[in-house]
């Protein structure tokens, strides 16, 4: 036989046989929201996750699955295996201006954000920062994110190129903004349409990538541009709509001035066909009862961004209300207004927001303190649901893409002290959520590949 052919055969058979791996450890994920369904939590204390060709083949008790044929087993006993984290709202061009002092939303955008975003029309710079951003996500256990680029199409190309290289499931898009920002960042309704269409045709469904039509927020787009966004959604029904909504009181008042004919901020988007089941609205803090009803009726989704909302002093998101209306909610880090790319640190602040709500209501007993299980749900299947990706990611059920993380409940001396006497998975998990960071994420797997 031709030696070259034999060598090729050896390579292929190695690739095939190396592809089924069993991971033994404590497994935790959800098949529904544990706040609403008492059977939602799937927990195997001594569990086994079998991954084949990048997909989850089986997951369950080790004792039941231990005789399944695998090529190798990795021993993660003492660690917790959960789905990779989903960040439903973050800005990659803002990683270098994270944590800038002293402003609330509008002042913060003008002083820090817009000058920084101008730099991203340079492909080399944008690529370099996109690479840093994605590697930070992996370090923090985030395997999927819905990501703002800038108004420059170059920033979108650079981001998607880097995401494709890492085979990560990422969603992004060119920011639409044609007013109320520096000239270097402004597009026109026509260029917004042409550039977005070209980017959708280039990137939508390439590898694991998806496209989001991304008007920054109502104050930076004219009505004509919001109409263009609606037209793009009609022409490309698969793409997402990603924007900000009702984050800050001054912003809400400004929208009322700019769009006097609209009933509310949400209504500005609704009137232009931008409220759909593939819409993700970051923040959604200052809404009224009709807004919640409209959102629920359209199946629209919310990104709850606690570190950002506290940092900019924007307000306290009402998770109970969203749950009451069955509106899907996920967690967003919202860096650079958010102060961490870590979804674990975001869970910490999410809990504190629900605690703080009790201080500002006549009926504190009616406010739910976010439970450890619901918090992890928001970070995994909740986020996946917000992104209509619940059939692909967000759980460790057979057939799903093998994006998962391995958490170390004893990472560092503080967590070791906190968790070594822990009596339940909820207690351990809560310790991880309040105290964890990138050190707690021992490993991150993307489609079965170990990236950390
Ligand atoms: N609203 C409009 N643009 C932004 C942004 O970049 N960050 C946040 N947090 N809110 C916004
Ligand atoms: Zn944002």
Whole-number Å distance between alpha carbons of 91 and 73: 37
Whole-number Å distance between alpha carbons of 410 and 431: 10
Confidence (pLDDT) at 18: 57
Cβ 388 vs Cβ 277: under 8 Å: yes
| Integer angstrom CA distances of residue 16 from 26, 70, 445 | 27, 11, 19
Find the 317 Cα to ligand 2 centroid distance in Å. Answer: 14
Residue owning the nearest CA to atom 7 of ligand 1: 337
Residue with tokens 């003492």: 78
Chain Cα centroid distance, residue 78: 27
The closest of 131, 233, 149 to 187, measured between CA atoms, is 149
Whole-number Å distance between alpha carbons of 202 and 209: 11
CB of residue 401 inside a 6 A radius of ligand 1: no
Residue owning the nearest CA to atom 11 of ligand 1: 244
Question: Residues of 196-208 as b/e, b for ≥16 C-beta within 10 angstroms?
Answer: beebbeebbeebb
Confidence (pLDDT) at 13: 41
Q: What angle do CA 269, 229, 220 make, to 5 degrees?
A: 65
Find the 425 Cα to ligand 1 centroid distance in Å. Answer: 36
Ligand 1 atom nearest residue 219's Cα: 2
Ligand 1 atom nearest residue 217's Cα: 2
Q: Name the closest ligand to CA 339.
A: 1
Confidence (pLDDT) at 2: 52
Q: Which residues contact 82 (CB under 8 A, 6 or more apart)?
A: 27, 28, 29, 376, 380, 396, 404, 405, 407
> SS3 breakdown of the chain: % helix, strand, coil, rounded to 5?
45, 25, 35
Confidence (pLDDT) at 15: 40
Question: Residues of 323-340 as b/e, b for ≥16 C-beta within 10 angstroms?
Answer: bebebbbbbbbbbbbbbb
Find the 382 Cα to ligand 1 centroid distance in Å. Answer: 22
CB of residue 443 inside a 6 A radius of ligand 1: no
Whole-number Å distance between alpha carbons of 236 and 436: 40
> With 0-12 CB in 10 A as exposed, 13-18 as middle and 19+ as buried, what is 125?
middle
CB of residue 247 inside a 6 A radius of ligand 1: yes
Find the 212 Cα to ligand 2 centroid distance in Å. Answer: 14
Mutate to test the pocket of ligand 1, among 217, 265, 336 (most ligand atoms within 8 A of CB): 217
Inter-axis angle of helices 425-435 and 343-357, nearest 10: 100
pLDDT by 10-residue block (mean), the chain, 452 residues: 47 53 98 96 98 98 98 98 99 97 97 98 98 98 99 98 98 98 98 98 98 98 98 98 98 98 98 98 98 98 98 98 98 98 98 96 91 98 98 98 98 96 97 98 98 98
Residue with tokens 């619940």: 390
Confidence (pLDDT) at 164: 98
Find the 419 Cα to ligand 2 centroid distance in Å. Answer: 34
Ligand 1 atom nearest residue 220's Cα: 2
Residue 194 sits at φ, ψ, to 5 deg, of -60, -45
Find the 332 Cα to ligand 2 centroid distance in Å. Answer: 8
| Integer angstrom CA distances of residue 213 from 13, 42, 122, 200 | 43, 35, 21, 9
Question: Residues of 382-411 as b/e, b for ≥16 C-beta within 10 angstroms?
Answer: bbbbbbbbbebbbbbbeebbbbbbbbbbbb
Domains and CATH numbers, the chain: 3-84+395-450 (2.30.40.10), 85-386 (3.20.20.140)
Q: What angle do CA 93, 384, 334 make, to 5 degrees?
A: 25
């Amino acid at each position: 036989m031709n030696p070259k052919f034999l060598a090729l055969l050896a390579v292929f058979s190695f690739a095939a046989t190396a592809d089924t791996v069993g991971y033994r450890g404590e497994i935790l994920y959800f098949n529904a929201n544990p706040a609403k369904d008492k059977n939602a939590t799937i927990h195997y204390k001594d569990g086994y996750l079998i991954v084949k060709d990048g997909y989850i083949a089986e997951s369950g008790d080790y004792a039941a699955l231990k005789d399944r044929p695998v090529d190798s087993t990795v021993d993660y006993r003492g660690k917790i295996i959960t789905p990779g984290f989903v960040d439903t709202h973050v800005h990659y061009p803002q990683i270098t201006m994270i944590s800038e002092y002293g402003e609330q939303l509008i002042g913060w955008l003008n002083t820090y954000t817009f000058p920084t975003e101008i730099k991203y029309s340079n492909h080399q710079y944008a690529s370099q920062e996109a690479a840093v951003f994605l590697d930070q996500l992996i370090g923090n256990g985030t395997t999927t994110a819905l990501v703002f680029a800038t108004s420059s199409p170059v920033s979108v190309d650079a981001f998607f190129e880097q995401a494709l290289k890492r085979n990560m499931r990422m969603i992004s898009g060119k920011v639409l903004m044609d007013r109320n920002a520096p000239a270097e960042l402004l597009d026109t309704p026509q260029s917004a349409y042409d550039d977005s269409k070209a980017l959708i045709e280039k990137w939508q469904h390439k590898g694991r990538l998806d496209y989001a039509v991304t008007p920054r927020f109502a104050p930076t787009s004219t009505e004509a541009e919001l109409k263009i966004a609606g037209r793009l959604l009609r022409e490309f029904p698969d793409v997402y709509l990603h924007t900000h909504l009702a984050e800050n009181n001054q912003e809400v008042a400004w929208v009322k001035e700019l769009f006097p004919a609209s009933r509310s901020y949400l209504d500005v988007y609704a009137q232009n066909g931008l409220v759909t089941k593939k819409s993700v609205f970051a923040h959604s803090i200052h809404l009224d009862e009709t807004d919640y009803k409209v959102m629920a009726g359209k199946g629209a989704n919310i990104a709850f961004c606690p570190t950002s909302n506290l940092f900019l002093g924007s307000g306290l998101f009402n998770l109970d209300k969203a749950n009451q209306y069955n509106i899907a909610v996920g967690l967003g880090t919202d860096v650079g207004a958010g102060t961490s790319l870590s979804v674990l640190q975001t869970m910490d602040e999410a809990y504190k927001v629900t605690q703080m709500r009790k201080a500002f209501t006549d009926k504190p007993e009616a406010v739910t303190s976010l439970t450890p299980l619901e918090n992890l749900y928001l970070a995994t299947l909740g986020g996946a649901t917000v992104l209509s990706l619940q059939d692909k990611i967000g759980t460790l059920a057979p057939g799903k893409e093998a994006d998962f993380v391995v958490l170390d409940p004893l990472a560092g001396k503080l967590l070791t002290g906190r968790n070594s006497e822990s009596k339940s998975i909820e207690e351990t998990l809560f310790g991880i959520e309040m105290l964890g960071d990138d050190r707690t994420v021992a490993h991150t797997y993307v489609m079965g590949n170990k990236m950390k």
